[in-house]
């Protein structure tokens, strides 16, 4: 799967502020493979998937205006630089309130993820079978948050596994044991 900003039109918030079109590059690919290891008895399956996203995000927020900062006490004025990123654009005339400006910032979200799974199935005899499966995912998301320019980095690396044993004890009774 592939998606790219070359196929998109600029959105309203890009053009209203005179900013370039938001970036977008999204790719998802992978594959799976399975085959018998022992005919009619043991089967192997594996899969791999990758997800990559670079997406422009527009943030439009109200921030204190110069008039509001001029009235602020000195202890509060030192916080001014934390309210708006130097890369943000103040939209002229966008606010009807003289104490607030409307700021816009284009940020880039960057996501990278890799997932792998492996499974082995075995038929022990006509009444008993077992399987084992392992799944691992590795993900990273660098996410912009607001016109301040702050970013949050989220990482996830879950792994899980399961083993199952299934027995047909009679024509009407099945026993299943799982450990995960």
CA 79/CA 35 separation, integer angstroms? 62
Q: How does pLDDT run across 35-67, given as a tens digit for each residue?
A: 999 999 999 999 999 999 999 888 999 999 999
Q: Model pTM? A: 0.77
Question: How many contiguous H segments (helices) and E segments (strands) does the chain have?
Answer: 3, 9
| Overall average pLDDT of the 98-127 stretch | 95
List, for residues 115-126, the tens digit of each pLDDT value.
Answer: 999 999 999 999
Q: Report the 10 Å Cβ neighbour count for 57.
A: 15
When comparing pLDDT for 9 and 15, which is higher?
9
Average pLDDT score over residue span 148-161: 96
Across the range 9-36, mean pLDDT stands at 84
Per-residue model confidence (pLDDT) at position 121: 97
Separation between Cα atoms, residue 93 and residue 13, nearest integer Å: 15
């Amino acid at each position: 799967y592939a998606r790219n900003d070359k196929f998109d039109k600029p959105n309203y918030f890009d053009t209203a502020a005179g900013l370039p079109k938001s970036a977008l590059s999204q790719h998802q690919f992978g594959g799976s493979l399975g085959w018998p290891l022992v005919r009619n008895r043991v089967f192997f399956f594996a899969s791999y998937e990758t997800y990559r996203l670079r997406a422009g995000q527009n943030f439009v927020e109200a921030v204190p205006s110069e008039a509001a900062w001029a009235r602020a006490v000195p202890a509060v004025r030192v916080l001014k630089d934390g309210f708006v990123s130097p890369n943000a654009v103040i939209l002229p005339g966008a606010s009807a309130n003289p104490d607030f400006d409307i700021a816009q910032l284009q940020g880039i979200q960057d996501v990278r993820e890799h997932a792998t799974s492996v499974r082995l199935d075995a038929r022990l005899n006509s009444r008993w079978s077992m399987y084992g499966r392992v799944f691992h995912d590795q993900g990273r998301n660098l996410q912009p948050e607001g016109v301040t320019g702050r970013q949050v980095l989220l990482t996830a690396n879950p792994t899980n596994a399961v083993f199952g044993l299934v027995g047909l004890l009679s024509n009407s009774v099945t026993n299943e044991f799982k450990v995960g």
